[in-house]
Structure 1
Amino acid sequence: MLGNQRPTIALAIGDPAGIGPELAARMVADPEIREAGSLVVVGDARVLSRGAVEAGLALDIDIRGPNEPLSPGGRPVLRDLGHLDPESIRLGTSSEAGGRSALDNFRTCLEMGKAGLADAVCFTPFNKPAMKLAHPPYDDEISYTAGILGTTGPASEFNVLEGLWNARVTSHVPLSAVAGLITEARVLRGIRLTHASLRDAGFAEPRIAVAGLNPHAGDSGNFGHEDDEIIRPAVETAQRDGIAAEGPFPPDTVFLRANKGEFDAVVTMYHDQGQIAMKLIGFDRGVTLLGGFPFPICTPAHGSAYDIAGRGVAHPGATRAAILLAARMALRQAERTRHSETRPAELV
């Protein structure tokens, strides 16, 4: 793994007006993070320094310029882009400058992953209005990442809370558009990507529940026909493919069953159908994984928390969980690569 036995994790500092700098500083000082991987923070040294002051930490970090070789493996490294004076940013306020710095940091991390200089990418919370100010075509991290990496295959956000995963068929679209976007092909693609991503994370035989779209999963057609005519056939096709998928289940109870351990993941039909449940279960521990890309990309599931920016009280649990998940998935990818390289050619 880039010359050492631990994965190299590129961590982009997110929105500088929120809690992102504080969380990045806390990760640099976290012994569990240091043990799990070689951390390369990407951003402006002055922004990270302000985050350290907010967190009350003195950081032990190796600072490198934007074009200097990194040679990760020892203490954490900061790739100092030198592109943002934190004094120009008003805490708790979206700005073009803040969005531009976060995008620059994220793009640099993605390019590191693409070039083989990082085994996984993480980022502290972004602020979407700031990102839009800096880059008007910006929709979400999925489309932006696909553009930078040049990938065209299926990709999706997953919310991960310890042993429970949530995927969704549609994401950042108006609720009024959801029903028209629910097709058998999209649902099946979501199930397959969920299965593959869970396998990448170490689940040998993932158990997947699929939520219905309508109340009571349509109630045999009384409340809509999408559940029986679109979602159920997709589940049946997945089952024929050998995937342990079941459903569609009523959306208002499926997470109760999953949270009790009956399923490893729930595939939902739209953004809030799963997000509300997952954040109620564990807001401070939830992770968002961008699945379907060549390397793991993870972030805490919560936002930039403008209301507590600069106060030094940000909870690090979700950010820590994001980096640890990325590190575990990167290790598994490396193991699979080594295994395939050592197998006889006729068996690969």
Structure 2
Amino acid sequence: MTDTKPRLAIIPGDPSGIGPELIARLLHQEGVQDAANIVLVGDDHVWEQGAQQAQLPIDLNEIAESEIESQTGLSWLPMQTIAPEEVEIAKVTVSGGACSLRCLDKALDLALAGKVDGVLFGPFNKAALTGAGLNAEDEHRYMARYIGFDGYHSEINVLGDLMTTRVTSHIGLRDVAERITPEAVEKAISLAEDTLKRSGNTRPHIAVAAVNPHAGDNGKFGREEIDILQPVIDAAQAKQKNVTGPWPSDTVFLKAQRGEVDAVVTMYHDQGQIAIKLMGFDRGVTVAGGLPIPVATPAHGTAFDIAGQSKANVGATLQAFALLTRMARNQRANRAAI
């Protein structure tokens, strides 16, 4: 009988942070190893470090890259990216960033070759990545460049059944207004809709947040809602898309919290991130929205303040695994149907 479970590559993230511990904890969560075939990618001593930190065992069943497509269960693809003495817990190091990038590159290579259906990574440290040669705004743009993808893509944050996308991301607040264009707003809406459909929601309700206080109050506090957002929303509705707004940003997440919408399109980074993290910091997931490869990670960072102390909360990593498994399964099924 053909195994229909998705196959996921999992990498530890920065070895100096809580990523290795989180993955060790993840592998011991009920149902995880039944939901997907898992290939751990990385150095044996990093995985063993995570097992020691979590005080939970990991079975490293070595596999060759040529054997991955027939692999089932849990296996390990060995790499040599960092020496044991170079792993410095709770410190930003170039070697930790290089380890992260090399493991990420290998996982993406496996996905591009069709050997795995998705990639899960433990938290990265952006300073370490930059020191190791990231040469991109963030890991999402790095991934797009690495796989040669030039289509629209952006970070998506997920909390339970709620997704948020944003029109602008890692830029200064003073530059936000000029980046809010009809094209940018339409792309953010489409990204939210497409990603939700990939995860199984056939007709998602997408709420668009306003830019200005009180949604501009009929132009008193700015005209972006009148001149940019409303025309884009009207055009989406004319195409039978379930898009509403612009909603005042200080109330739209109340609608989201009540389950009245499936996604919120925000205008800038903190407009959505503050709300999402207050609603469920230990359950938040980040998805590489728009990329042809399903990629997910917990939405929190490397947590150097608790690294190595056996205190890491696996909640967000478990949610990332569950969402990635669903997306990879749907993508696998869609390929089989073609």
Q: What TM-score do the two structures reach when normalised by structure 1?
A: 0.93
Structure 1 residues 136, 206: CA separation in 2 closer, same or farther (over 3 Å shift)? closer
Equivalent residue in structure 2 for 1:215, among 204, 213, 216? 213
Aligned to 1:32: 31
Alpha-carbon distance in structure 2 between the residues aligned to 1:282 and 1:246: 24
Alpha-carbon distance in structure 1 between the residues aligned to 2:89 and 2:219: 51
Q: Secondary structure at 2:46's aligned position in 1?
A: helix
Cα displacement (A) at 1:329: 1.0
Alpha-carbon distance in structure 1 between the residues aligned to 2:100 and 2:134: 14
Structure 1 residues 120, 80: CA separation in 2 closer, same or farther (over 3 Å shift)? same
Aligned to 1:281: 279
**Structure 1 stretch 29-38 or stretch 174-183: which is displaced more?**
29-38
Alpha-carbon distance in structure 1 between the residues aligned to 2:72 and 2:30: 13
Cα displacement (A) at 1:100: 0.6
Does the 8 Å contact 1:28/1:39 carry over to 2? no
Does the 8 Å contact 1:99/1:130 carry over to 2? yes
Cα displacement (A) at 1:71: 4.8
Cα displacement (A) at 1:128: 0.4
Cα displacement (A) at 1:39: 0.9
Alpha-carbon distance in structure 1 between the residues aligned to 2:28 and 2:102: 24
Cα displacement (A) at 1:181: 0.5
Q: Secondary structure at 1:288's aligned position in 2?
A: strand
Cα displacement (A) at 1:72: 5.4
Alpha-carbon distance in structure 2 between the residues aligned to 1:280 and 1:307: 20
* Percent of aligned pairs with the same amino acid: 43
Cα displacement (A) at 1:60: 2.1
Aligned to 1:332: 330
Cα displacement (A) at 1:75: 3.2
Does the 8 Å contact 1:8/1:72 carry over to 2? no
Alpha-carbon distance in structure 1 between the residues aligned to 2:201 and 2:69: 32
Alpha-carbon distance in structure 1 between the residues aligned to 2:181 and 2:105: 32
Q: Secondary structure at 2:208's aligned position in 1?
A: strand
Does the 8 Å contact 1:40/1:72 carry over to 2? no
Partner amino acid, structure 2, of 1:154: Y
Q: What TM-score do the two structures reach when normalised by structure 2?
A: 0.96
Q: Secondary structure at 1:313's aligned position in 2?
A: coil
Alpha-carbon distance in structure 2 between the residues aligned to 1:175 and 1:60: 47
Q: Secondary structure at 1:298's aligned position in 2?
A: strand
2:100 paired with 1:95: no
Alpha-carbon distance in structure 2 between the residues aligned to 1:83 and 1:148: 18
Cα displacement (A) at 1:231: 1.2
Residues 40-60 of structure 1, C-alpha deviation per residue, up to 9 Å, x if partnerless? 111111011011000001112
Aligned to 1:250: 248
Alpha-carbon distance in structure 1 between the residues aligned to 2:30 and 2:82: 28
Cα displacement (A) at 1:262: 1.1
Partner amino acid, structure 1, of 2:221: F
Cα displacement (A) at 1:86: 3.3
Aligned to 1:139: 137
Instruction: Give the 5 Å matches for 1:1-348.
Output: 4-64=3-63, 67=65, 69-71=67-69, 73-339=71-337, 341=338
Cα displacement (A) at 1:99: 0.5
Matched residues, number: 338
Does the 8 Å contact 1:23/1:51 carry over to 2? yes
Partner amino acid, structure 2, of 1:131: L
Query: Which structure 2 segments of 5+ residues have no match?
Result: none
Alpha-carbon distance in structure 1 between the residues aligned to 2:67 and 2:62: 11
Partner amino acid, structure 1, of 2:295: I
Structure 1 residues 337, 74: CA separation in 2 closer, same or farther (over 3 Å shift)? closer
What is the aligned-residue RMSD (CA, Å)? Answer: 1.5
Alpha-carbon distance in structure 2 between the residues aligned to 1:42 and 1:303: 20
Cα displacement (A) at 1:282: 0.6
Alpha-carbon distance in structure 2 between the residues aligned to 1:337 and 1:61: 30
Aligned to 1:345: none
Query: Which structure 1 segments of 5+ residues have no match?
Result: 342-348
Cα displacement (A) at 1:261: 1.3
Cα displacement (A) at 1:146: 0.9
Q: Secondary structure at 1:306's aligned position in 2?
A: coil
Does the 8 Å contact 1:142/1:290 carry over to 2? yes
Residues 170-220 of structure 1, C-alpha deviation per residue, up to 9 Å, x if partnerless? 111111211111001100111111111111111121000000111111111
